[in-house]
Amino acid sequence: MRDDGSQTGAGDVRRLPGRVHSLDDADNPPPGWVPFDMFRNAEDSDEVICFGFFAGTVDQLRANAAENNYAEQLAVVAPSVESVETDELYEIVEECTA
C-alpha cells in the first residue's frame, strides 16, 4: 500500500478455451504492481479469473497501464480470449489481516 493508503484492485474474468494460460511477466510486474493471482474455475477449465493489486489510485493505475503498454499486452493474448465476462477496477475500502 502507498504511504497515503491508496490501493486499487484490478480483476477480470475471461474465457480461454483449450489454453493452458500463463503469463511470463507475472513475477516481474511494472512499478507499483505486485504479482497477481490467477484462478482457474474448477468446474469450467476454460474460465480464469485474474486479480492483482496496485499501490495507488484508479487514475494512477490507468496512467501506469498506459506507460507500460498494457493495451499491447492485451493484444498479445487477444487471439486466445473467447470472451471477457468482466474487467474492472476496485478501490480498496477495507483491509483485513489475520
The CATH number of residue 17's host domain is 3.30.70.100
pLDDT in tens, 39-71: 999 999 999 999 999 989 999 999 998 998 888
Answer whether residue 2 is part of any domain.
no
pTM, entire model:
0.74
Average pLDDT over residues 10-33: 72
Answer whether residue 97 is part of any domain.
no
Please say whether the dihedral angle defined by the alpha carbons of residues 7, 31, 62 and 50, taken in this order, is positive or negative: negative
Answer whether residue 27 is part of any domain.
yes
Rounded-to-integer distance, Cα 27 and Cα 6, Å: 22
Answer whether residue 3 is part of any domain.
no
How many structural domains comprise the chain?
A: 1
Neighbours of 20 (CB within 10 A): 7
